[in-house]
Amino acid sequence: MGIESPVWDYLILTASNERQASAYSSLLARRRLDRVRRTMVVPDLEGKRIGSGGSTVVCLREVLATEQRAGESAAATLGRLRILIVHAGGDSRRLPAYGPCGKIFLPVPAGEGQTLFDLLVPEFLELPAGAGGQVVVTAGDALLKLDMSAVRFDRPGITGVGSWEEPADAARHGVFVEGEPNAVRLYLQKPGVEEQQAAGAVRAGKTILDAGVLSFDGAAAAALVRAFPGTQTMLEKGVDIYREVCCALGSDATAEHFVKSAQGSGSAWTEGELRELFPALSGIPFWIQVSPRCEFLHFGSTRQLIESGRALSGRSLMVMNSAVSAEIAGEESWVEGCRIGAPVKLGGRNVLVGVEVNEPLEMPAGACVDVLSGEGGWFIRCYGVDDDFKKPAAKGGRFCGRPMLEWIAAVGGSAEDFWSGAGERSLWNARVFPVEARPEHAKYLWMFDVERAGGGQKRAYLAAERRSAEEIALLSDQDAFHARRWVEPRTTMLGSTMSERGR
């Protein structure tokens, strides 16, 4: 990204809960970060998702509690520090296999023992310095490649980074509307193409898409902390930094625009609450820097794991951190943290994580299996590559590649067998994953073809102890998860196992 920038006073990772935070701290301790004076891991309050904005405020409070001198204002304290905050919490609902490590530390096919952190964070550490202190806020679920040669962060207030993209692609993200050169006139969150055009965001057929990097000076960071003095609203409704913060910024922003943009993109804040918040944020100067090159490799879902892994490695079959003594045949698939002692045939778009294979295994297309140890035994998780753990079952949420309610009926169960309580029912909180005394996954592969399963298999499954992904997130053994990658013999992208060898 150019000339090496000054050192950082803090590198802060956010985490979903105390257990994940402890694991992150251990993983950070393994790494040498010469340009960082201090690392910190900050879990979400009470283990609840409070959003990127809420987490940012909590991180800044932690820094102020440590660094603020007697009689010193928050702006002055933050004005003498350089802080990088990488949001790495979340439940990994769309990427369940890596819930224990979070997306930031998921292994990537880029060399022995490499994780997304090892590729992503060094890029952020090279960002240019600001003036009057600097707090950079970004996310840790995508590999971001930016050309920062013409980017500067020395203006007062907040500076965002963007790139010119197709309006249809920008519709799923944040969009900057530029007024005067480098000045943001409006910020739009997930705007349709027509909304972008009406706001004047589209120029020469392109829109400035938000790349997800925001740089605050000390005064702006202090203003953010002041805008959210309590914690109760953050706990109840969350604060998304792009929705409840950025939509209030820009030279043409009004309270009406803020309310419409925030609520239109999913804010749970009431109109009155947003109007009360607006004056605390709207006066912060907001700038935009456009990067000539911006590339994303997303690792946010199981399908993206395969697609981005292939783009990164140039291979169709990725085998990593695994002890392998038998052939693996297949394409468009991901095998990681496994012990492969018998032939494996993959139908395509498969994910195997933490699996022991001692007998020949054949996986249907789109089938995924991950195995975790934790309190109570081993959790055997079978699901489809496109299963959405967030989508309610009543609205078409899928399990093992088919509508979940249909799957439940086919196995001979009822909703009450899988959910308790009156809350929203989804794959995330459905007790569908069996608990075993040993990591035996093969006995549950019938779940991908439930009609052909025998009555005895279905009855045994319904009678077995089962857990939901939500419960497993709290019960999984973090140390055991990482030990498979640090202790076991590892093979990274084994050429001898590739069905495509010789191409």
Instruction: Indicate if the pLDDT at residue 366 is higher than 60.
Output: yes
Give the whole-angstrom CA distance, residue 493 versus residue 315: 8
Give the whole-angstrom CA distance, residue 145 versus residue 123: 8
Q: What is the pLDDT of residues 281-333, one digit of tens each?
A: 999 999 999 998 888 899 989 999 999 999 999 999 999 999 999 999 999 99
Residue 429 sits in the same domain as residue 384? yes
Q: What is the pLDDT of residues 351-362, one digit of tens each?
A: 999 999 999 999
Residue 214 sits in the same domain as residue 344? no
Residue 407 lies in a domain: yes
The total domain count for the chain is 2
Residue 306 lies in a domain: no
Percent of the chain clearing pLDDT 90 (strictly above): 80
Residue among 371, 333, 332, 324 nearest 489 (CA): 324
Residue 285 sits in the same domain as residue 324? no
Residue 309 lies in a domain: no
Residue 32 sits in the same domain as residue 99? yes
Q: 79 is written with which tokens? A: 């004005």
Q: What is the pLDDT of residues 104-147, one digit of tens each?
A: 999 999 877 899 999 999 999 999 999 999 999 999 988 988 88
Residue 394 sits in the same domain as residue 257? no
Helix 51-67 to helix 218-227 angle (10° resolution) is 110
Question: Residue 499: its pLDDT value, please?
Answer: 34
Residue 285 sits in the same domain as residue 399? no
Owning domain of residue 374: 315-497
Question: Residue 169: its pLDDT value, please?
Answer: 92
Average pLDDT rounded to a whole number, residues 154-168: 96
Average pLDDT rounded to a whole number, residues 249-261: 97
Q: Which amino acid is at 243?
A: R
Question: Residue 412: its pLDDT value, please?
Answer: 96
Residue 361 sits in the same domain as residue 490? yes
Residue 366 sits in the same domain as residue 486? yes
Residue 423 sits in the same domain as residue 283? no
Q: What are phi and psi of 123, to 5 degrees?
A: -65, -45
Residue among 60, 88, 65, 84 nearest 8 (CA): 84
Q: What is the pLDDT of residues 449-496, one digit of tens each?
A: 999 999 999 999 999 999 999 999 889 998 888 888 754 434 433 333
Residue 167 sits in the same domain as residue 200? yes
Residue 502 pLDDT grade (very low, low, confident, very high; cuts 50, 70, 90): very low
Task: Tell whether pTM > 0.75.
Answer: yes
